[in-house]
Homo-oligomer: A and B are copies of this chain.
Amino acid sequence: MESNVSVGLLGLGVVGSGVIKLIESHQEELAHQLGCNVNVKSALVRDLEKARNVDIGDTYLTTNPDDVLQDPDIDVIVEVMGGIEEARRHILKAFEAKKHIVTANKDLIALHGPALQEAASRNGCDLFYEASVAGGIPILRGLTEGLVSDRIQKIMGIVNGTTNYILTKMDCDGVSYESALQEAKELGFAEADPTADVGGLDAARKMAILARLAFYTNVDLEDVEVSGISDIQLEDLQYGKKLGYMMKLIGYAQIHEHKLEAHVQPTLLSRNHPLAGVKNEYNAVYVYGDAVGETMFYGPGAGSLPTATAVMSDVVAVVKNIRLGVNGRRHIKPLFKKELTTPDESFGKFYFRLHVKDEVGAFSTISTLFNNLHISFERILQTPFIKEELAEIVFVTHQTSLLKFEEALEKLKSLDVVKEVKSHYRVEGDADQ
């Protein structure tokens, strides 16, 4: 058996504790894979005195980053401290000391991934970040190794557990957004300040990372358009159900003729779609490849031990590379120059819910508007008299461009018979008729 591998931790919170537990409890399997033991030599923490819910064994706790970053015994550093600037500085310093980095930090990788990858390669170091997207689901390896020979065209992800939990509760139990959010907080599926989750930013970070790897192009976080779930009305879930759809916060990234389209938004998803079965706090990433067709990777998107398995799969990869002497050599540069789709190049189906004056010819006026834009309807539902003299109309269009959708939306708002456009959503997949 070769000499042991020493790991240093930056951070000892939820994921860091999971890493310690996993190494402790799965030492036999790890040693079998690697031909040596793995131990956590030291961990950078904020507070040495804080009570921990994990037995840290011989791990040395320190508040001085250099105790970890400059320790010659440490080969691999696991960054699970979160935040951006401090983590980034530590990682760059670690690369200079020729340490390999495994990180679970999606915020950091979404913003600075390509630059950090460059720094890693320059120093002959590995930088792996499987845990940064969809927790325990090995989706980054799925893309970069499993589907490496395919040309991936589209990714759709349910990559935020908080919002998926909230939307599942709203859909199954018919409760409002506010009570579902409250329940999610009580169960620990939502943070005290859930803004980044419910606003869609967290999902956007993950989609930027996924899209980079899938499409071989430098996707920046600001390339991903974002809208969140906090304005979603129960009515739209109920109409969706009638039409065969369910509301999901879908991260969408597509490449078409080398042009990128990426967004995160609440979407009415067909109940026949593989992603429709992804409930509660679970995550899944649906990948459509030119040759392979439809695939999906499903699992827990967060949690101490699930995320730790992703971290440790990266540590195992680093250690195997150390044994083989091949670290820092698998970095692939972007293949395509990034170009974003314009609204006339982006296509989709759209759901509208309108309040209209309940008078003769109202619907005819609306359908003429859509007809003139060459947008046709796939499904229409009309409920008369929801309030005095108001009817509620719900319809789903066939495929049309985003440009035409936006034009239709503007024109609808200016129509005299339209009292209010209550809501509109993208629609994905075909519902049962």
Contacts and interface: CB of A to CB of B under 8 A. Distances in A.
Contact of A308 (B29, B151, B291): B291
A289 interface: yes
Interface in A133-151: 136-138, 141-142, 145-151
Given A296-B299, A300-B292, A138 B142 contact: yes
Contacts of A308: 149, 291
Nearest to A149: B312
Nearest to A330: B320
Contacts of A290: 25-26
Nearest to A276: B277
Oligomer copy total: 2
Contacts of A310: 146
B309 A289 contact: yes
A364 B32 CA distance: 54
Interface string A293-329: 1111111100101101110110111001000101001
Given A142-B142, A276-B277, A306-B291, A148 B296 contact: no
A299 B255 CA distance: 20
A313 B145 contact: yes
Interface of A: 18, 22, 25-26, 28-30, 32-33, 130, 136-138, 141-142, 145-151, 216, 274, 276-277, 282, 289-300, 303, 305-306, 308-310, 312-313, 315-317, 320, 324, 326, 329-330, 332, 335
Which are the 6 A-B pairs with shortest beta-carbon distances? Answer: A138-B146, A149-B312, A295-B299, A277-B277, A296-B298, A136-B292
21 contacts: A18-B291, A25-B151, A26-B149, A26-B290, A29-B151, A29-B216, A32-B216, A33-B332, A136-B289, A136-B291, A138-B145, A142-B142, A149-B315, A274-B298, A291-B306, A292-B306, A292-B309, A294-B298, A294-B300, A296-B298, A296-B299
